[in-house]
Amino acid sequence: MTDTVHREGELSRRLVLLLALTCAVGVGTVYFPQAISPLVVAALHASPGSAALVVTAIQIGYTVGIFLLVPLGDRLPHRPFLVTLLVLTGAGLLAAGCAPGLGPLVAAGAVVGVTTVAAQVIGPLAAGLVAADRRGAVLGTLLSGSTGGMLLARTFGGALGEWLGWRAPYLVAAALVPILAAVLARALPVTVPTSRQSYPSLLAEPLRLLRTEPDLRRSCLYQAMVFGGFSAVWTCLALLLTGPAYGLGAHAVGMLALVGAVTMLCTPFAGRLVDRRGADGVNLVSLLGVLVSAAVLAAGARGGAAGLAALAAGTLLLDIAMQSGMVANQARVYALRPDARSRLNTAYMTGAYLGGSAGSWLGVRVYGGAGWRGVCALVALLAAVALTRHLVALCARRPNARQAGGGGAATGSLFGPVAHPTAAPPVATADRSV
């Protein structure tokens, strides 16, 4: 059998959209169970707390999958690796849809969480298949897919579950995922692994990269701080909307979350901006955007129509700022070591999720003591920490940029021309035929 040679920079728009769809489906399988947990409670005669284990099991499994499986993206050819992950995810979804009780459902959910890390494998894959001056735009498109999957999966799961019962979303997803795997088996180009390290060495590598790569550490810090603030806001938003200031139902949070769908249009633009002006410039604007969003969100404490408008505007600005920063950070991280992109992504995403978990925990406690304005102050503080570190990095790099006569994509500015990136081109991970 022969495969078409896939040269660097020739990643077709059709394949980018297919990979974005795969990201949407992968991320969606993590989030649609949130919408059907009340149906699970009623159907299986479980308590709300025990039914929440289904959602928790998937989320914990997803974190475990990032740590245990994503580094293998540097060790295994991407096509069979992704197809295998999707097939296992489909099997887990089928088992969940046929689960006779809560225990088997939780176990199947954990399997789904561990294996549905396709989006975290696809990012490094795409970064190696596209020219450096297109990398930001492609990453922005993939992130749009993930965002769409997160938002639409809740709507899909809730509507289908209400219509056909809680098993229906699992079974429909179980049928969809293998079809997607079959399409990817034909569409993905052949890739050559960039590492021959043993599995234990691959697992240890993200920690070593954190020690040796300053730009990885600061990218992790930026995203951990911003995602921490983001998680604090969305964790406490339900408490605010259902509290005395508004007196709304839990569905109001879901309606407000749909405002974030606008970020699906913004992240590709942010990616193109990274390609033209550099990751550091986009990071600067995104961190300033988080600070502004904290001030806007604080006005939501007053309640009423004006407060609700402030919450809608503030959460939208926060979403856009966080997702734009994510594109910039990933573009910077993937440029560091073309031979270790999956391990770099493991370190980066682990740091981001740890920041998000800590933000949720802190947010609830701050809300209990200082209310909604205290949560907004927490968001501003976290953004200020990241912004201070970023300004230090920009000041340190400026003399070096003057001596070199210019800067690359990682050190560019939004306010002036930037030379083409000087980082080494991606290793030809998809440029051979068999």
pLDDT (tens digit per residue) in 354-367: 888 888 889 889 99
* Residue 78 structure tokens: 């991407």
Q: Give 300's DSSP letter.
A: G
Q: Please determine, for residue 402, whether its predicted confidence score (pLDDT) is greater than 60.
A: no
Element (H, E) at 191: none
| Percent of the chain with pLDDT strictly greater than 90 | 49
Taking the C-alpha atoms of residue 233 and residue 386, their distance in angstroms, rounded to an integer, is 17
pLDDT digits (tens, 9 = 90+) for 239-269: 888 788 888 765 666 677 777 778 788 888 8
How much is the pLDDT for 311?
A: 93
| Mean pLDDT confidence for 35-42 | 80
Q: What is the mean predicted confidence (pLDDT) over 66-85?
A: 94
Q: What was the pLDDT predicted at 53?
A: 80
Over residues 288-308, the pLDDT tens digits come to: 999 999 999 999 988 888 999
The model's pTM: 0.79
Cα 236 versus chain centre, distance: 20
d(CA 65, CA 203): 12
Average pLDDT in the chain: 84
Alpha-helix residue ranges (DSSP H) falling in 98-198: 102-115, 118-129, 135-164, 167-187
Indicate if the pLDDT at residue 408 is higher than 50. Answer: no
What per-residue string of b and e applies to 150-186 under the rule 16 or more CB within 10 Å gives b? bbbbbebbbebbeeeebbbbbbbbbebbbebbeebee
275's tokens: 């390609």
Q: What residue ranges of the chain are covered by domains with CATH 1.20.1250.20?
A: 1-193, 199-418
* C-alpha–C-alpha distance, residues 317 and 321, integer Å: 6
Average pLDDT score over residue span 69-75? 94
* pLDDT exceeds cutoff 90 at 379: yes
Between 97 and 303, where is the model more confident?
Answer: 97
Given a cut of 80, whether residue 418 has pLDDT beyond it is no
pLDDT of 219 higher than 90: yes
CATH of 199-418, one of 3.90.226.10, 3.40.50.10490, 1.10.3720.10, 1.20.1250.20: 1.20.1250.20
Q: Domain 1-193 carries which CATH code?
A: 1.20.1250.20
Sign of the dihedral through C-alpha 146, 149, 154, 157: negative
